[in-house]
Structure 1
Amino acid sequence: MNGDWLLRGRDGRLSVYQLSGDAVLCRAERGPGGPWSAPRRVGGDQRLHPVLAVGQGADGYAHLVSWRPTVKGESGLVHSTHFRPHLAALDWNPVGHPHKKGDRTGTPAVAVDAQGRAHLFVPDGDGGVSLLAQKEKGGWEPWRDLKGGEVRDGPAAVTGESGRVELYAAVPQGLVYWRQEEPGAQPVLRETLRAPVRPGTLRALATSPDRTTVFYTDTSGDLCAWRPGDAPATLLPAAGPGPVAAVRCALDGYDCTLLAQRSASGRVAFAAYPTEVEPAGAWWTESGPQLPLDALVCLATDEEDRVVAATSSPSTGRLLLTRRKDEPGLALEAWQEA
């Protein structure tokens, strides 16, 4: 899973996307804060590889990208748009391969610009990154080679508050960063950071009108934050492996960034700090039951702007959720199975 898989729709209801064998399943609240629907298969009966990238536009539409097997030893990328969680998603639409044909080249990432156009990024298998962008009036632009150099798997795509799309990727020497200079323009390589980055741990978030922040774990096990143009900041030791979940939220009247991660103990660990003020410090607080090793964690805010946390396990299919209580601090309700 790459990107937020717990989303708030235009009607305020939450939905989740889950991997299940060769399918993607969707569940949604029947009403804000209400019971959840049964899982429904997304995009028809087409078989998929167990990988999913998710991005959401300002219009609330979810864009889903996966790999599907084609002929023996080869695969192609597919895309679906889900306008409302209680409606069926569009069928999976084949969108090709960065080399026209071949096997999977890496984990895709997707971000959606202010005009509602999905931007699909994927490592090209040759050390670079390829981009496929939607046209504003339908269809897709040609594949674009964004270059790079020894790009590792697990890029992080994000849409800034400006509505322009950005991308972060790990390389052996650190991180590389692409940004759109104008709406609809091809992202260009803007900056490289030399840092000991652990691949597969990137998570990006829009944190101010002009900047985004990428979170990553370094090779010593510390969770770090970097905004292009600045030096990276060490936040605290990572609670566990893999990328963190992150969301902007108001806590006691302050603009905060909340992080969550499956900890080494198997529970969900939370940490919050004032947005873009990493020197203020943060510390982990664990919550909920012990989770399977493959459990994923995601964060969102509901229609009342309360923080919601969800965990999903591909091996068990269980979906657990909690919400912030209406009281000071980050007190959470008891975890409930949906």
Structure 2
Amino acid sequence: MVRTVNGDWLIRGRDGRLSAYAPRDEAAWCWAERLPGGDWLPPRVVGGSQRLHPVLAVGRGADGYAHLVSWRPTVPGESGLVHSTHFRGHLAALDWIPIGHPNKKGDRTGVPAVTVDAEGRAHVFVRNKGGGVSMLGQKQHGGWGPWRDLKGKEVHEELAAVTGESGRVEAYAATPDRILHWRQEEPGSVPVADEPLAVSARPGTLTALPTSEEHTTLFFTSQDGTLHAWRPGTAPVPLAAAAGPGPVAATRCVIEGTDCTLLAQRAASGRVAFAAYPTEQEPAGVWWTESGPQLPADAGVSLVVDREERVVAATLTPSTGQLLLTRRKDEPGLAFTAWEPVG
């Protein structure tokens, strides 16, 4: 299992501060603004001193709290999942709490994904030993419910979890010949399987984004290298050739008065590629524009809208701890400031 961070790892907290998270040196690290829009504090370890595997899932609740999930080694050859909540980026996170294993015990089974419902309850999804998907959810008044086997088979390692504008939780997983989808029918209920999409997606390319009150949109790259957008119940729409091999980062923002979906991806050149189009209007077309310096292969890209409603893009390289940041300029179009190192 490679060093991985899953989810939107650049988030805006309840107080407007931005923070970024990544696995590094057998721990979870946090970079946080000292004040909203200001300079950044030195990076530090969060969640306590437990040794972690190099994988981290990040989810943000509507309350602005960050939920972190990782694997930790337990006994030789076995691991367990742990969870922490970070209420303020510039303050200490809660210590890691063990939340178990989808098969009760064993080694790591996949990269976890975490999302947070409208009531602030975290939901963790992970591939299980049988190749399906298992899920664990927080209870309304504290603690965790039981592990639930959502079924599936031959699921790729990395999943995508998302909370829609309705506040209900959804999850996506890819197999060699289809994309699986689960969603809650009622708040707090166990997600149920929806009609799968018969398509072969490249492993590790799933990203989900709420795009309206009714829909979430899944972005994935097909085996021929084409980036697609898919809303369950409709046909997938090809957008453009993927800029690079990994997943896209996605967020919603207003560009010249129009609700747009902004995509970013580490391109094959090593630079960051941006593209935007009116939300849920994929036929309008997508064109990539590259920006910034060439980045190492393990660099990730994330997007967020800050307290001043400006899009912020960040790249983070876990192997070096280098965090770079750029903000959209206050002018028409999709122009960004020069990339600057943080810390």
TM-score range, shorter chain: over 0.9
1:44 corresponds to 2:51: no
Supply the distance in 1 between the matched residues of 2:183 and 2:34 (Cα, whole angstroms): 38
| C-alpha deviation, 1:125, in angstroms | 2.1
| C-alpha deviation, 1:331, in angstroms | 0.8
**1:195-220: CA deviation from partner (whole Å, max 9, x where unpaired):** 12111100000000010000000000
1:140 is matched by which residue type in structure 2? W
1:257 is paired with a residue of what secondary structure? Answer: strand
1:260 corresponds to 2:264: yes
Supply the distance in 2 between the matched residues of 1:172 and 1:266 (Cα, whole angstroms): 27
The answer to whether the 8 A contact 2:298-2:319 is kept is: yes
Supply the distance in 2 between the matched residues of 1:239 and 1:163 (Cα, whole angstroms): 31
| C-alpha deviation, 1:32, in angstroms | 1.3
**1:235-271: CA deviation from partner (whole Å, max 9, x where unpaired):** 0000001100000000010000000001111100000
1:154 paired residue number: 158
Supply the distance in 1 between the matched residues of 2:102 and 2:22 (Cα, whole angstroms): 26
**1:170-216: CA deviation from partner (whole Å, max 9, x where unpaired):** 01112010000000000000120001211110000000001000000
The within-5 A match list for 1:105-120 is: 105-120=109-124
1:300 paired residue number: 304
Supply the distance in 2 between the matched residues of 1:181 and 1:71 (Cα, whole angstroms): 38
2:30 paired residue number: 26
Supply the distance in 2 between the matched residues of 1:26 and 1:197 (Cα, whole angstroms): 31
1:35 corresponds to 2:29: no
What's the TM-score once normalised by structure 2's chain length?
0.98
Supply the distance in 2 between the matched residues of 1:204 and 1:122 (Cα, whole angstroms): 16
The answer to whether the 8 A contact 2:31-2:40 is kept is: yes
2:76 paired residue number: 72
1:208 paired residue number: 212
1:9 corresponds to 2:13: yes
| C-alpha deviation, 1:228, in angstroms | 0.3
1:286 is matched by which residue type in structure 2? E
**1:10-50: CA deviation from partner (whole Å, max 9, x where unpaired):** 11110000221201111111111110000110111100000
1:274 is matched by which residue type in structure 2? P
2:142 paired residue number: 138
**1:74-111: CA deviation from partner (whole Å, max 9, x where unpaired):** 00000000011121000000111011110001110001
2:170 paired residue number: 166
Quote the RMSD (CA, aligned, Å): 0.7
Instruction: Quote the sequence identity (%).
Output: 71
1:300 is paired with a residue of what secondary structure? Answer: strand
1:3 is matched by which residue type in structure 2? G
1:95 paired residue number: 99
User: What stretches of structure 1 move > 3 A for 4+ residues in a row?
Assistant: none
1:151 is matched by which residue type in structure 2? V
**1:291-334: CA deviation from partner (whole Å, max 9, x where unpaired):** 11111100001001110000000121110000001000011011
